Structure 1
Amino acid sequence: MRTIPAALAAHLAGDVRTVCTLWLVTRTDGALIGFTDFDQDITYGGQLFRSAGGYTHSQIQSGSDLSTSNLEVDAIFDSDLITPQSLESGLWDFASVVISLVNYNDLTMGAAVLASGVLGQVTIRNGVYKTELRGLAQLMQEDFGDVYSPTCRAMFGDAQCTTDLTPLTFSGSIQSVTGATQWADATLTQTGPNASFADTVGHRIPTMFPYTVQIVPPTGGAFVATGTVKDSSGAVYSQGTPGPGVFSVSPTGLYTFDITAAGGEIFIDFSYQIGYFAYGKVVFTSGQNAGFEMDVKAFAPGHVTLAMAMPYPLAVGDTYTIVAGCDKLFGTCRDRWNNVIHFRGEPYIPGQDVILRPQG
């Protein structure tokens, strides 16, 4: 049931109404920001509500049957607080919103709360953004609690994981930029543990000289040593001077074969060094991206690759902090972090392939 102050209710019952809406937005980073559809800024309850006349909103739909309340807002980018970069970076995701109605000619009449909820999906097109406000009943439609999963459900370093991230966090500055998601910093010399890679996909040897195959280790790791090399028929190759059934390999993982293997399929097992910061996180502390963060896709000593491009271009001199990551696998938790007692997954529970396969 909506409560309306008596003075405001009397004003709404009159023939002439001087009302506007106030939008109080609380972002997940704690920032408290107010907007109003009035043509002037309004200060109410000690909070400044900035005039943002460049938006329209739909009717508020709500019911008494616990169905989700919906409201859509269309607006142009006319505020320095809401930019395409801030929306794309997730700064406004899941922000809580309270919409109130006031008499702008007499704020002492109080406010009537029209709706509240959290911001949902945001779409951007041609300088206009659209967002939806999801009512509190939306929470009733979400699943809560843990589910079975082969990988760990804890966030690396949180209260469930308990791993101390302090000694795994480092600071630096960008020394050179390669593309939108890669940069170099020679001070990042950290190396991760070694791991084995079993090739189940295979590689096709070129039909023309040079008959080479370049190995690309996962997570931007570094090639360490070769393992078993065999063709599609299961014949195992030996290491030496390239010839029939013989290959050579460079320290960077470049495999060389001879013409007798041209066009054939080859399976290469090898060991590699895990990227120390792979699956970790970067938080920028200066430059245009200051305050924004991004996941690390891959890492090799001195070279960082992000999962996605930052809202603003990377620039030489931008400073950052970077923390090591975890791929949430049972073996990584046990062997690398020695934290298997806090592993939040079920790696040995049979999957659907076991349940559905023919029995007997």
Structure 2
Amino acid sequence: MSATTIARAWMVRRADGLCLGFTDHDRALRFGGVEFAPEYGMTARVLVQGTGLSVDNSEAVGALSADAISERDILAGRWDGAELKLWDVDWRDVAQRRLVFAGSLAEVSRANGAFRAELRGLAEPLNAARGRVFHPRCSARLGDGKCRFALVGEDYRAEIAVEEVEDGRVFRFASFPAYEQGWFERGVMSVLDGGAEGLSAAVKNDRALPGGQREIELWQSFGIAPVVGDVVAITAGCDKRAATCRLKFNNFMNFRGFPHLPNEDWLMAPGAGRNG
């Protein structure tokens, strides 16, 4: 492989299976069942690779293209976490290639007609916390395999068409099913149809207004805002307290916290931990 005939080839595969190839060569390259197209302006910053378990770092930059990585898909978060591989390739003979990076994209952003994404190496998951957390509140996520609670039925899930939206973050409904105020706080709003279909966001506030009206405020606006008429599903939230698990969800048998664990004040109390 000659230094004068080396090109870089990128393969990006989204979670939904869409796979795209890019190259900095002036002609398309093909290998591994992927065509690496030259016309999208994909480039990379200096690749920093460490030994051992240190995380590889780099940054991908490219021009937005309606038929490749579109601004709409970036706003919807559809490229976040996509699998990515990078090769050095001899463009005269693509069988002569070397894999130099394998990992995933972090959050993809866009500015001034271009996208930008930090790359995360294969060792990145090793930075995640492991093991059981001893805390009075539950360590499970509502509805996951540890919680085992099924968020189905009208008691814990409401489907309703959008009637009014402000800044893509505050939703108001003139007529809403009768739920306690705050029932959906810490829950999730998911878009079921329209241009934002498939997007989800966490609920910050759930306010019951006079006359059966409701206001749902999200922590962060959708990348693509739902419009009036789009149907959303809102699921109940959990504050991870033992009382909430028992009274709101009747799921205390699966509670993953330690509600009787002494608090920090107990550790400072005179005589704490002494015998007799």
What's the TM-score, normalizing by structure 2?
0.80
Contact 2:159-2:232 within 8 A present in 1 as well: yes
Distance 1:44 1:180, change over 3 A: same
Q: Which residue of 2 aligns with 1:51?
A: 38
Distance 1:289 1:153, change over 3 A: same
- SS of the residue aligned with 1:331? helix
Q: What is the alpha-carbon distance in structure 2 between the residues aligned to residue 279 and residue 294 of structure 1? A: 10
Q: What is the alpha-carbon distance in structure 1 between the residues aligned to residue 178 and residue 68 of structure 2? A: 38
Higher-Rg member (1/2) = 1
Q: Does 1:60 align with 2:39?
A: no
Distance 1:67 1:313, change over 3 A: closer
- CA-to-partner distance for each residue in 1:136-193, whole Å, 9 max, x for gaps? 233344432222233222121111111112213343211233443222345631413x
Residue 128 of structure 1 deviates from its aligned partner by 4.1
Partner amino acid, structure 1, of 2:194: G
Q: Which residue of 2 aligns with 1:197?
A: none
Question: What is the RMSD computed on CA atoms of the aligned residues?
Answer: 2.9
Candidates 224, 227, 233, aligned match of 1:312: 224
Contact 2:102-2:121 within 8 A present in 1 as well: yes
Q: Does 1:183 align with 2:183?
A: no
Q: What is the alpha-carbon distance in structure 2 between the residues aligned to residue 145 and residue 155 of structure 1? A: 15
Q: What is the alpha-carbon distance in structure 2 between the residues aligned to residue 327 and residue 89 of structure 1? A: 27
The correspondence of residues 131-280 of structure 1 with structure 2, limited to 5 A, is 131-167=117-153, 168-186=156-174, 188-192=176-180, 221=181, 275-280=182-187
The correspondence of residues 75-90 of structure 1 with structure 2, limited to 5 A, is 75-78=62-65, 80-84=67-71, 86-87=73-74, 89-90=76-77
Residue 285 of structure 1 deviates from its aligned partner by 2.5
Partner amino acid, structure 1, of 2:248: R
Residue 130 of structure 1 deviates from its aligned partner by 3.2
Segments of structure 2 that go 5 or more residues without pairing to the other structure are 272-276
Partner amino acid, structure 1, of 2:184: F
Residue 338 of structure 1 deviates from its aligned partner by 0.7
Q: What is the alpha-carbon distance in structure 1 between the residues aligned to residue 135 and residue 70 of structure 2? A: 37
Q: Which residue of 1 aligns with 2:201?
A: 294
Distance 1:35 1:308, change over 3 A: same
Q: Which residue of 2 aligns with 1:281?
A: 188
Distance 1:28 1:302, change over 3 A: farther
Q: Which residue of 1 aligns with 2:79?
A: 92
Distance 1:176 1:111, change over 3 A: same
Partner amino acid, structure 2, of 1:324: A
Q: Which residue of 2 aligns with 1:242?
A: none
Q: Which residue of 2 aligns with 1:27?
A: 14
Q: What is the alpha-carbon distance in structure 2 between the residues aligned to residue 83 and residue 41 of structure 1? A: 20
Candidates 222, 229, 242, aligned match of 1:330: 242
Q: What is the alpha-carbon distance in structure 2 between the residues aligned to residue 179 and residue 152 of structure 1? A: 33
What's the TM-score, normalizing by structure 1?
0.63
- SS of the residue aligned with 2:246? helix
Contact 1:55-1:75 within 8 A present in 2 as well: yes
Segments of structure 1 that go 5 or more residues without pairing to the other structure are 1-11, 193-220, 222-274
Q: What is the alpha-carbon distance in structure 2 between the residues aligned to residue 148 and residue 85 of structure 1? A: 42
